[in-house]
Every structure is written in structure tokens, then in C-alpha cells.
Structure 1
Amino acid sequence: MTRVGFYVIQQAGEAQRLQVAARLADKAFQRGHRIYIHARDQAQARSLDTLLWSFRPGSFLPHGLAGEPGSDLVAIGWGEEPAGHDDLLINLRLEVPAFFGRFHRVAEVVTQDNASLAALRESWRFYQSRGYQLEKHDLGGV
């Protein structure tokens, strides 16, 4: 059954969400996982694509936009169902994607803004009511 982790940042803002997604992806990749990052929209996906090239000097995280070359290990998509990924889903949308159940793990990124908090509380209840194993990780400041 899919394991779901909520990664709670004690700050608000889009930049914080992207930084945490990049950190989670890097850590998971170093552990041998294949990752699909589900962005809110194309603009957010492109911002994350740019961030992943430069967020940690001295490291390399091979990635690409979903369906493009380089997206075999780490793919960034928006709106569409991911092809070829079922290991780790990092969800940056404020709703649970319909395809989450095919993944072994789901990471939900929570920031301290009203829309994020309300939506992700609802997501917690959604997963919990269906019996998924939930974990909460307090990250403090990024």
C-alpha cells in the first residue's frame, strides 16, 4: 500500500515549496529511487526544472520535463498521468492526484499559507479515511 508523507515547512511561499521538492528529490535519487514531481502547472514545472540544475553546487540530479529526454529517473510533469513512474511521487498540487495509488510513496509538501494548509489538511483526511499509512515530517525553516 502507498505510504504518504507530509513534509511541513514552517514558512510560506512558492519558493519554499520548490526548495523542499528539490531536496526531497535529491535525497530520494541518492537512495536509488525514481521520482515523478507533479507540479501545479507548466510554469511551476519549468521553475523547478531550472532550480534542479543549480540548487546544490557539486551535485547532479538527472531530470527532465515529463516525456522529454532525461526524464527517465526524475520527471517533472503537470496535469497528465505520469508514464513509466511508480516509485516516488512528490505532489506540489493542492489536491490529491487521481493516480497517486500507483506509487509506492507520496510526498506532500505543506507550507504555512492558508490555501496550502487548508488543502493539505483535506488531503490528510482523504488519505487517512482510506487507510493509508501517514507520516508527518516537520522541516522547520528551509
Structure 2
Amino acid sequence: MTRIDFHVNLPDKLAYGCRLVRKAYQSGRQVLVWCDDPVRLAEFDRLLWTFSAGDFVPHVGAADPLAAETPVLLAAEAPEVPHHDVIVNLGDRTPPNFSRFDRLIELVSGDEADRAHARERFRFYRDRGYPMQTHDRSADR
């Protein structure tokens, strides 16, 4: 069963996501970053190239011909992916096919609208019996 972690009270959800994905990549994990907002996903893609001058996080869109060879994939749709390791949700909705992954990481900012969407997702997962943990990152500010 998919393990779900909520990282909440993030001061900058996209920057935090970049650091999280870098850490997962450096530890040998394969990651799908999913977002139901293509504009937000495009901004995350741009940040992955620029957030740290000394690091490179290889990534492509999930539909890219190089997806099978790339450890970090980005998607705004419900893609078929070559791995089912970690999925990171930057979106407002529950990611499609999340139950195929070993782990789902939900990123939640301090924005009230973002928190409201996260509460809906939390109830959805809880009501279906998924094991969950919450990590309050307000101290990271």
C-alpha cells in the first residue's frame, strides 16, 4: 500500500519541492512530479534548472522519449511511467494512479486555499486506510 507523507506549512512549495526531488534523486530514487496546473509545473521545471548552481537534477516530461532513462519525470496528466517509486504532488487534486507508487509526498504551503485542498486530499486518503504521516515544516522558515 502506498505510504503518504504530507509536508505542510512550506514557505515556498516549489523551492522545497526542488530540494526534496534533489534529495530523492541523490539517494537513487526515481520520482514523478505531478501537478494539475501546467503553469505551476512549468515554473517547477524552470526552477529545477536554476535553484542550485552546483547541482544537476536530470528531468524530462513523462511523455518525452527519454523518460525511461531519466530519474525525474514531470507530468500534468495521468501518465504511464516506467517506474512506481515516488510521486510528488505539487497540485490541488489527488494525483491519478498514485496508488501504483510506493510513496506519495504531498507538498502544502501556508496558503489557505492550498491548505483547504490538502485537507480534502487528507480525508480522501484517510477514509481509504492509507498509512500517513504529517511533517510540519514551519520551523524551516
* TM norm structure 1: 0.89
Which has the larger displacement, 80-89 or 65-74? 65-74
User: Structure 1 22/42 Cα, relative in aligned 2: closer, same or farther at 3 Å?
Assistant: same
Q: State the alpha-carbon separation in 2 of the partners of residues 70 and 22 from structure 1.
A: 20
User: Structure 1 70/26 Cα, relative in aligned 2: closer, same or farther at 3 Å?
Assistant: farther
3-state DSSP class of the match of 2:93? coil
Partner of 1:118: 116
Counterpart residue identity of residue 62, structure 2 = A
Q: State the alpha-carbon separation in 2 of the partners of residues 120 and 49 from structure 1.
A: 22
Cα-Cα RMSD? 1.6
Task: Indicate if the aligned counterparts of 1:49 and 1:65 stay in contact, CA closer than 8 A.
Answer: no
Partner of 2:14: 18
Q: State the alpha-carbon separation in 2 of the partners of residues 19 and 93 from structure 1.
A: 14
Task: Indicate if the aligned counterparts of 1:37 and 1:92 stay in contact, CA closer than 8 A.
Answer: yes
Structure 2 residue runs of 5 or longer lacking an equivalent are none
State the aligned residue count.
Answer: 138
3-state DSSP class of the match of 2:137? strand
Partner of 1:33: 29
1:128 aligns with 2:97: no
Structure 1 residue runs of 5 or longer lacking an equivalent are none
Task: Indicate if the aligned counterparts of 1:34 and 1:73 stay in contact, CA closer than 8 A.
Answer: yes
Shift of residue 40, structure 1, vs aligned partner: 2.6
3-state DSSP class of the match of 1:40? coil
